[in-house]
Amino acid sequence: MKTSYFILALLLSIAVCRSIADEGMWQPYQLPAMAKELVAKGLEIDAKSISTLTEFPMNAVISLGGCTASFVSSKGLVVTNHHCAYGSILHNSTPENNLLEEGFLANDFDQELPASPGSRVYVTEQVTEVTEQVTSGLEKQTGNAFYQGIEQREKALIADCEKTAGYRCQVYSFHGGLEYYLIKQLEIRDVRLVYNPAGSIGKYGGDIDNWMWPRHTGDFSFYRAYVGEDGKPADFSEDNVPYQPKSFLKVSASGVAEGDFVMVTGYPGRTNRYRTAIEVENQFQWTYPNSLELREKLMEIIKQTAAEGSDARIKYESTLAGLANYAKNFTSMIEFYGKSAMLSDRKQREAQLATWINKDKQRQEQYGDTLAQLDALVAQSQEYKYRDLILSYMRYSSLMPTARRLYRLANEKMLDDMNREPGYQQRDMPRFKSGLERMDRRYDAEVDRAILLEMLTRYGALPTSQRLPALDKVFAIGKTMDKAALASRLQTMYEKTELENMDVRLAWMDRGVADFEASKDPFIQAAVAMYKTDRDIEQQRKDLSGKFMKVRPRYMQAIIAFNRDQGMPVYADANSSLRVTIGHVKGYSPEDGLLAKPFTRLEGIVAKDTTVEPFNSPAAQLELIAQQTYGDFYHKPIDSVPVNFLSTLDVTGGNSGSPTLNGRAELVGLLFDGVYESIIGDWGYDDQTNRAISVDSRYMLWVMKYVDKADRLLEEMEVVYND
């Protein structure tokens, strides 16, 4: 085992050194092997420091659990995207004091507002390779036995890691399970909202400009991390003090110019660059089109049910933003897949891989039937794909999933903690509770009922062979779908349930199985009735996942060895762990005859402005632009203050809020989006069209200084000026 992983690491290092393009989401440990290349591209700090998580700049970059952020002062000040702080802004908003529209600025520490329940700041401190500890001795296991074996090993490693109070640990798999790493993060639990610009700056352009260029969005906001007086993580308390990070990023007032080196450190979510042709075909020709239609329908339901400006609409603004974001994402995926040769390229790659394998007897023995086995498992996973898709979208309603989670918790609590399902262990209870608390600001009964009615109506139209008898019984769905009868049943259930009350929901966390079985609450009754079916489906999923976990690593091992022979770069697909990407400030040509320049200017805001949302820049900002109030943030090549800029950085969802750094590791921007043509980059990087969008640090500082008068924060940060 040890020899094989040494060889794998060597192959990865060789491949890294051969990399030329800006493609790649690199694990920090890989970076020293590409030091010469990084210096040639423009890195001015020691490449080894980027691979050392306890040193600058890596210890200044943090995760928010879905977005990236960074420390920008010695007093725990955190900068991230406006859309990453959206939930906390929403949590503190009311129709009378709408922080989403008006913005918010705390003039002192005691005015900073608690972020939404469950908000966390995670500081990665240690990454340890644990492949042998996770997989050793399980070689003969398969299916559910292998899945459970891996899970138990991971839970044991996590439990040992979390013996140190204040830490959150997680085991991540790389290359489909070829490697496993234990990641240890300091978990800061007291997070507060410090400043967000008005939505007419932070969301300027809204859904219309989302994924588009040119862009003029001030997508930034500030949090602060607090700890107990002893310097350790603590729950919210007025006695808590600002966290003092080991280092923080300086913010550049000089920014970058076209062609400059840039680097991003962050937590990219998921990419799929090593998926097989059959997986690509299903995703683009079936999953994306059907998911797009469902998202568009959900947005329509929310808008029709929750009037604009109402408390209900405010509660669902974050949900709408997420739905719209991925609806546009899926639209782009479908469009550019149709124009691309992605499917034929994957088939060609697999044919080349097969030829390479067949040229060597040892490779035939090791990898010969791997792709066929993988394709067979993929086909098996798609047997109930439309039913599974509909059921997955039921999560956009709240009461049914909440009741099922609560009843699952009651059952899990009958087991020893180490034998509980991940998500239901003692370590998970703060998150579990926060989820129940957050529901108050993200739930409206009428909207929730309308969403559930839509999903159940679609489910009821499935052939009976595709349906679940227990679910049919719960909602009285017969062979023929009767939507009126279903609507009436749901109306009664929502009228009788008490789960809409937060105190009631929280109280159920401490109830036993017998209490659930005796309950008259209709959604609790539904959860009890669905429990066996839910567990049966889960066991089937785990059995299939266990089979994938045996085959996928062999496929990836073959890909890595094959790529090594071709001199191609090798990096693991994104999996929400800390990665580093490198690139340059550069425009692109979206289509023949068009050239997109790498910077947008303040004057572009005026050109777009209609005084109507989402192009309704604050009057004070428009006046400042008209007066050419550029201050210290003027960029001569564009004769204005830069607003957003393009780069060749290889990023994806989860990178939102990542600091865009120059060669000295100074913050020159915040990454917040990509161009429309690059969305398909989750499946394959194209050097000609993959472009990331960052809000320029000069625009951020300009808004803070001239528009919102955030002098307190500007004085707290270390703003640097370079020639």
What own/partner pairs with CB < 8 Å and gap ≥ 24 does 514-518 have? Answer: 515/410, 516/406, 516/407, 516/410
Residue 174 pairs in a beta bridge with 179
> Where are the alpha helices (H) located in 182-287, listed in sequence order?
199-202, 206-209, 277-282
| CA 303 – CA 316 distance, rounded (Å) | 9
Query: Of 401, 447, 399, whose CA–CA distance to 300 is shortest?
Result: 447
- DSSP codes joined into one string, 116-134: STT--EEEEEEEEE-HHHH
Q: Which of 19, 22, 83, 200 is catalytic?
A: 83
- The values of phi and psi at residue 17, to 5°, are -65, -25
Q: How far apart are the first and last CA of the chain?
A: 52
DSSP conformational letter for 54: T
| Spatial separation of the C-alpha atoms in residues 600 and 635, rounded to whole Å | 11
Other CB atoms within 10 Å distance of the CB of residue 606: 14
Nearest to 582 by CA among 41, 15, 29: 41
The helix-helix angle for 429-438 and 399-412 (nearest 10°) equals 160
Phi, psi for residue 71 in degrees, rounded to 5:
-75, 135
How distant is the alpha carbon of residue 327 from its chain centre? 16
Other beta carbons within 10 Å of 645: 33
CA–CA dist 695, 673 (Å, integer): 9
Eight-class DSSP state of 693: E
Residue 537 in contact with residue 255, Cβ under 8 Å?
no
Amino acid identity of residue 334, one-letter, is: I
175 is catalytic: no
CA distance 385 to 379: 10
Peptide bond into 57 cis (omega under 30): yes
174 three-state secondary structure? strand
CB atoms within 10 A of CB 414: 10
Whether 83 is a known active-site residue: answer: yes
Which tokens go with 330? 């899926």
In the set 22, 190, 219, 696, the catalytic residue is 219
Given 63, 73, 318, 656, which residue is catalytic? 656
DSSP states of 615-678:
B---HHHHHHHHTT--GGG-BGGGTB-EEEEEE-----TT-TTPEEE-TT--EEEEEEEE-GGG
Give Dmax over CA atoms of the chain in angstroms: 74
Give CA–CA dist 416/158, Å, rounded: 16
The crossing angle, in degrees rounded to 10, of helices 143-161 and 522-566 is 90
Residues 6+ apart with CB under 8 A from 314: 90, 93, 94, 95, 98, 100
Q: Which residues pair with 640 in a beta bridge?
A: 635
The count of other CB atoms within 10 Å of the CB of residue 510 is 10
Residue 337: CB atoms within 10 A of its CB come to: 19
Closest by alpha carbon to 457, among 538, 524, 515, 393? 393
Rg from Cα positions in the chain: 26
C-beta of residue 375 within 8 angstroms of C-beta of residue 276: yes
Residue 190: in which H helix or E strand, if any?
strand 190-196
Cβ(526)–Cβ(474) below 8 Å? yes
Q: The tokens 């799929």 sit on which residue?
A: 272
* Cβ-proximal residues to 566 (8 Å cutoff; 6+ apart), any chain: none
Residue 488 annotated among the catalytic residues of the structure:
no
* Catalytic center residues: 83, 219, 656
